[in-house]
Amino acid sequence: MTHLPWTVPALLLLAASHVLSPKAVDFVVIVVYFVMVLGIGFYLKKYTKSGEDFFLAGREMTAWVAGLAFLSANLGSLELMGWAGASAEYGILAAHWYWIGAIPAMVFLGVVMIPFYYICKTHSVPGYLNLRYDRATSGLGAICLAVITILTSGVNMFAMALVLNVLLGWNINVSIWVSSLVVGVYVAAGGLFSAIFNEVVQFFLIWFGSLLIPILGMIETGGWNGLVARIRARFPYQDFTHLWRGLGHFSSNPMGIHWTGIVFGLGMVLSFGYWTTDFLVVQRVLSARDVRAAKMAPIIASFFKMAIPLIVILPGLLALGVLPFHLVPQSTAHAGQYTYNDVLPLMLGRYCGPGLLGLGITALIAGFMSGMAGNTSAFSTVWTYDIYRAFIRKDESDEHYVSMGRWSTLVGVVVSIGAAYLVMQFASIMDYVQALFSFFDSPLFGTIILGMMWKRTTPKGAFWGLAAGVGSSVAMFVAVKVNPHLLAVFALSSHAQVMADNMYRALWSWLICVGVTVGVTLFTSPRKEGELTSLVYGLTELPSEGHLPLVKRPIFWGAVAMAALVALQIIFW
């Protein structure tokens, strides 16, 4: 096996008893970044006076800024480390979460759903549920989103602590607290204004720092064909390099999944559930200055999303081809073993020397900051507007709610620190996160899409459908933990791995939610049509785009994004 000259110091990382020793220049880069994000937060505090400013950035963002923030809120250390580890575990199948598992949903959000979120001027997704259904359904949705943002926030904390522990030898607990409090301070100071501006900066830092690994890795392996040859030589009985070719049978791919799980469980349910209902990302789009900018934001983001596998999936594939040892699940790792979650710091250590190491670590810190900021600002909004104001203190001043938003941001950071330790019970970060999405986002999508498309849907139907969807998903998860043999029942095959179980569980919970909602709706009274204006298709006057040239219409660029998606599926079939 050949190595680049500048990878020699990184060989120390391959021994579990050693870590890298960054030089002074590396620490300078890291410290400058921390100072910069805190400075942005405190600078923007003076522009954050009202609730509209703190929670929706004053609705002043352009389509490009909102789009990059929309994507950057998702591109945290969770994405960087989680999917790098997942691609080392499942191969190029992990790219499905960036292509069929993201692009159709992002385009659908921009073209179909955003007008309703934006026109009704809701602060949050539960706010829409309150307007469309009632306070009970909104409260249940708010609790679901608050829980998932806190638990997902814990993943970002764990991921960053893992980076600093593997690369620098820092104590995990210290790493978690220091980095988390920095995020809490700058989001509490500037609210969504601060989060969005830092996310745009972080987006570019992530790209500049993370590109080092695929570029240097491709040089070492001799390009894509050379990498494929190495992987096939090391793993002759598994297909890690094709998107669809191995999905005809459960036993012919490393995930143990059939194409129906990818198309329906991921493409139709999980991805739409996340990209159209998860307030972490939807909140950024709602900050746009007008409806057209809001519609364009996720479509602009979809083009960048298609390119992200270059810096996220490719490092995991490189690990399969070049690391001289096999990785193991986090839940079964022993002392001296590296896990799937360690892939990105291992590859960073392999290819980066002094200076470059600081840039790479800063890119990961930026990803951590982005993910943490997104989750904490989303939690703050949902807690303040949809739980605290709706059920605890209903008639306080705007200043009171802004103050509550700031304090809940800091409290959310502290609470989510506890969630960081839950991740260690799963094989990889992404197995954990996709389980969370199957619990909450999948049934929530069923509740919202029925409400937007079917005016007959009743509040009681929505509440019981959402409760049934969430309850059934959690019940299936617990059942498999108690009796692992049930995995073959819910995921339709004895070959299924944890990720396959997540896909099919999401599909079943969505079907249960929709079925119960429709059933209860047919036996209960709907709301009057006059109460549903601006909330349901057929009862809402949408802004006309007929005066715009074709190339300025969101639907045109949505079609271009879908065409590019099809091309990628053919290339990597």
509/561 Cα distance (integer angstroms) = 29
Residue 263 vs residues 98, 238, 299, 561: alpha-carbon distances, Å: 13, 21, 21, 18
> Can you tell me whether residue 288 is helix, strand or coil?
strand
Question: Of 322, 363, 394, 298, whose CA–CA distance to 163 is shortest?
Answer: 363
pTM assigned to the model: 0.77
The single-letter code of the amino acid at 236 is P
Contact (Cβ atoms closer than 8 angstroms) between residue 261 and residue 503:
yes
Neighbours of 226 (CB within 10 A): 14
User: What residue segments make up the domains of the chain, in order of their start?
Assistant: 5-427+549-571
163/336 Cα distance (integer angstroms) = 16
What is the percentage of the chain residues whose pLDDT exceeds 90? 18
The 8-class DSSP code of residue 387 comes to I
Question: Of 177, 186, 179, whose CA–CA distance to 414 is shortest?
Answer: 177
The DSSP element (H or E) to which 510 belongs, if any, is helix 498-521
Angle (CA) 343-346-351 rounded to 5° is 125
Chain segment 391-429, per-residue pLDDT in tens: 888 877 777 877 787 777 777 777 777 766 666 666 566
Backbone angles phi, psi at 488, to 5 degrees: -65, -25
DSSP per residue, 107-118? HHIIIIIHHHHH
CATH superfamily of 5-427+549-571: Sodium/glucose cotransporter (1.20.1730.10)
537/556 Cα distance (integer angstroms) = 21
Residuewise pLDDT in 10s, the chain (573 residues): 333 333 333 333 333 333 455 667 767 767 776 677 666 656 655 555 544 444 444 455 677 777 777 776 666 666 777 788 888 888 899 899 899 999 999 999 888 888 777 777 666 678 888 889 998 998 898 888 888 877 777 777 777 676 666 666 666 677 667 666 666 665 555 444 555 555 566 667 677 767 878 888 889 888 899 999 998 988 888 888 889 988 888 888 888 888 998 999 898 898 898 888 776 677 677 767 777 888 888 888 899 889 888 888 998 899 888 887 777 666 666 766 777 777 877 787 777 766 666 666 766 666 666 666 667 767 777 788 778 887 888 877 777 877 787 777 777 777 777 766 666 666 566 777 788 888 888 899 999 999 988 999 999 999 999 999 999 999 999 999 899 999 889 988 888 888 889 889 999 999 999 999 999 999 999 998 888 888 888 887 777 776 778 888 888 989 999 999 999 999 988
Contact (Cβ atoms closer than 8 angstroms) between residue 320 and residue 231:
yes
> Can you tell me whether residue 4 is helix, strand or coil?
coil
490/473 Cα distance (integer angstroms) = 11
